[in-house]
């Protein structure tokens, strides 16, 4: 029986058995036991006169115990039920002088060094339970809406984004200079996106999505970038950009509504944590809303939809631009937006999630559909307060000649992507999709400040421990 089930109270006055890890042991009498099934600890009341000294000495923070006793209504405040302990079996001891996770507040930086044990803290356990619930909600949303999951390859021969930020995969030893062919007989890399393969499946299954690991060797040591992250990429035949925006908005609202309903205890805890962290910041940097408040706000309000051109005008006339407070001043149409600009738009100007669309072709990938103006493409980015870009997507170029033109202009090897252009030869049609960075979604939902703290074992420049 796990602790979450015991809190339902159904086993009241029965003998129950439960296993978990000791969080604290007070007054030789009260064990706070946690088994990860929920946030709350189960209080286990020990009759120390009936318990051997040797056993009492082994009940330390971090030890694993199996406890058998009677589940009773709690006498103390703060919990509904507790166990009157009959027997304690020590499954694994934990030396209190060595165990790093003490019953006190540890810094997130310290806990990153102890990533193998940090899930035994309330904060990380809550974050990881919410992460798991979001993952379930993603699959539920797509399944209920007629999408099929496709497993796109992790080792690929193509650079979908054309950004060249790939991790090479090879069996060749660089120190041995021989003429042996590589395993696949060609250069291969870890995928930066499953989009191109997903497009081929959308043009047969109609509505598909991928949810898998994604790798980018970009040297951005920021609180929002990982070298290995999980991306969700829906792709839909016959959808245009407006349909794509509708899908992204509905999808995000729906998964947030799921966790608001199913993760009340953990989100309540993270809401308090968020409030404490915000209170430490200078007034101007504080989030105008609490964590739960902002999640509710997102599920209940429409995202603002603004063209790139309109956004540039807003930024050009903004206070920080006129007072030269931006690091990168917005001086004209065509620039790539920096995160300070995106943050100004969502956090100061609109104070809500924003979908920017119709970007200059120059700054976007080759596969995006060209607009009639010949200079913008049907791209969209969904921007969120605190995390910046949560989603990047587009309507795809379905016209063979236009696609070839763009590939040539952007130096994309058409021979390598023959299968991708083939899609435009046989039954081509309007289609669209997007990619959502799963950790950015978890970051926003949990109110954590650093993406390294919402994935079990973060991979970042100079860091691949564990």
Residues that bind ligand 4AD (CB under 6 A): 160-161, 193, 195, 216, 218, 225-226, 229, 231, 233, 389-394, 433-437, 439-440
Residue number closest to Mg ion, CB atom: 392
Q: For ligand 4AD, which is the closer residue by CB, 71 or 198? A: 198
Residue in the structure block whose two tokens are 């699959």? 139
Instruction: Report the largest interatomic distance among the alpha carbons of the chain, rounded to a whole angstrom.
Output: 85
Strand partners of residue 134? none
Q: For ligand 4AD, which is the closer residue by CB, 21 or 211? A: 211
Cβ 453 to ligand 4AD shortest distance, Å: 13
Q: For Mg ion, which is the closer residue by CB, 392 or 447? A: 392
Q: For ligand 4AD, which is the closer residue by CB, 21 or 229? A: 229
Q: For ligand 4AD, which is the closer residue by CB, 20 or 435? A: 435
Cβ 253 to ligand 4AD shortest distance, Å: 17
Range list of H helices, 280-434: 291-300, 308-316, 319-322, 339-343, 400-409, 418-422
Contact 363, 213 (CB under 8 A): no
The entry of Mg ion, ligand 4AD, none near residue 434 (CB within 5 to 8 angstroms by kind) is: ligand 4AD
The entry of Mg ion, ligand 4AD, none near residue 390 (CB within 5 to 8 angstroms by kind) is: ligand 4AD
Q: For ligand 4AD, which is the closer residue by CB, 82 or 159? A: 159
Contact 22, 61 (CB under 8 A): yes
Cβ 195 to ligand 4AD shortest distance, Å: 4
The entry of Mg ion, ligand 4AD, none near residue 216 (CB within 5 to 8 angstroms by kind) is: ligand 4AD
Cβ 368 to Mg ion shortest distance, Å: 11
Cβ 432 to Mg ion shortest distance, Å: 15
Helices 291-300, 264-279: axis angle to 10 degrees equals: 120
Q: For Mg ion, which is the closer residue by CB, 437 or 458? A: 437
The entry of ligand 4AD, Mg ion, none near residue 313 (CB within 5 to 8 angstroms by kind) is: none
| Number of residues binding to Mg ion, judged by CB under 5 A | 1
Binding track over 368-407 against Mg ion, x by CB under 5 A: ------------------------x---------------
Give 372's contacts (C-beta < 8 A, 6+ positions apart): none
Cβ 396 to ligand 4AD shortest distance, Å: 8
CA 227 to mean position of chain CA atoms: 13
Which contacts of 454-463 are long-range, i.e. CB under 8 A and separated by 24 or more positions? 454/127, 454/131, 455/131, 455/226, 455/229, 455/230, 456/115, 456/119, 456/128, 457/115, 458/112, 458/115, 458/226, 458/228, 459/226, 459/227, 459/228, 460/221, 460/225, 460/226, 460/227, 461/219, 461/221, 461/227
Cβ 420 to ligand 4AD shortest distance, Å: 13
Alpha carbons 131 and 437: distance in angstroms, whole number: 13
The entry of ligand 4AD, Mg ion, none near residue 433 (CB within 5 to 8 angstroms by kind) is: ligand 4AD
Cβ 225 to ligand 4AD shortest distance, Å: 4
The entry of Mg ion, ligand 4AD, none near residue 125 (CB within 5 to 8 angstroms by kind) is: none
Cβ 210 to ligand 4AD shortest distance, Å: 8
Q: For ligand 4AD, which is the closer residue by CB, 193 or 376? A: 193
> What angle (nearest 5°) sits at the alpha carbon of residue 461, between those of residues 460 and 464?
60
Which contacts of 346-352 are long-range, i.e. CB under 8 A and separated by 24 or more positions? 346/383, 346/384, 346/385, 346/388, 347/385, 347/386, 348/318, 349/314, 349/318, 350/304, 350/306, 351/288, 351/385, 352/297, 352/298, 352/301, 352/303, 352/304, 352/385
- On the 0-12 / 13-18 / 19+ scale of CB atoms within 10 A, 337 is buried
Q: For ligand 4AD, which is the closer residue by CB, 120 or 216? A: 216
The entry of Mg ion, ligand 4AD, none near residue 454 (CB within 5 to 8 angstroms by kind) is: none
Residues of this chain that bind Mg ion (CB under 5 A):
392
């Amino acid at each position: 029986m796990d602790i979450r089930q015991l809190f339902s109270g159904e086993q009241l006055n029965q003998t129950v058995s439960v296993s978990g890890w000791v969080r604290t042991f007070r007054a030789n009498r009260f064990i706070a036991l946690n088994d990860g099934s929920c946030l709350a600890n189960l209080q286990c009341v020990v009759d120390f006169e009936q318990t051997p000294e040797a056993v009492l000495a082994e009940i330390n923070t971090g030890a694993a115990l199996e406890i058998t006793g009677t589940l009773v209504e709690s006498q103390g405040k703060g919990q509904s039920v507790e166990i009157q302990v009959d027997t304690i079996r020590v499954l694994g001891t934990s030396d209190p002088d060595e165990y790093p996770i003490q019953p006190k507040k540890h810094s997130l930086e310290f806990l990153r060094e102890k990533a193998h044990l940090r899930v035994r803290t309330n904060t990380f356990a809550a974050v990881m339970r919410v992460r798991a619930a979001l993952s379930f909600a993603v699959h539920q949303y797509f399944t209920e809406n007629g999408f099929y999951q496709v497993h796109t390859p992790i080792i690929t021969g193509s650079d979908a984004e054309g950004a060249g930020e790939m991790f090479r995969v090879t069996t060749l030893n660089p120190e041995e200079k021989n003429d042996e062919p590589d395993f696949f007989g060609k250069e291969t890399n870890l995928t930066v996106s499953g989009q191109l393969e997903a497009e081929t499946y959308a043009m047969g299954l109609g509505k598909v999505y991928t949810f898998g690991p994604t790798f980018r060797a970009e040297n951005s040591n920021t609180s929002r970038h990982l070298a290995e992250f999980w991306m969700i990429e829906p792709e839909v035949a016959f959808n245009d950009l407006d349909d794509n925006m509708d899908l992204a908005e509905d999808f995000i609202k729906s998964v947030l509504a799921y966790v608001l309903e199913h993760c009340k205890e953990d989100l309540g805890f993270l809401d308090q944590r968020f409030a404490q962290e915000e209170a430490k910041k200078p007034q101007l940097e504080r989030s105008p809303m609490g964590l739960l408040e902002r999640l509710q706000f997102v599920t209940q309000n429409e995202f603002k939809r603004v063209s790139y051109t309109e956004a540039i005008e807003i930024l050009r006339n903004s206070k920080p631009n006129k007072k030269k407070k931006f690091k990168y001043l917005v001086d004209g149409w065509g620039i790539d937006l920096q995160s300070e600009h995106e943050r100004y738009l969502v956090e100061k100007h609109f104070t809500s999630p924003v979908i920017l669309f119709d970007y200059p072709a120059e700054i976007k990938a080759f596969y995006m559909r060209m607009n009639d103006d010949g200079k913008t493409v049907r791209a969209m980015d969904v921007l969120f307060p605190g995390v910046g870009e949560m989603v990047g997507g587009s309507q795809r170029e379905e016209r063979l000649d236009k696609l070839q033109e763009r590939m040539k202009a952007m130096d994309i090897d058409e021979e390598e992507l023959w299968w991708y252009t083939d899609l435009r030869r046989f039954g081509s049609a309007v289609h669209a999709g997007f990619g959502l960075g799963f950790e950015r979604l978890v970051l926003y939902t949990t109110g954590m400040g650093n993406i390294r703290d919402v994935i079990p074992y973060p991979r970042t420049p100079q860091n691949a421990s564990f």
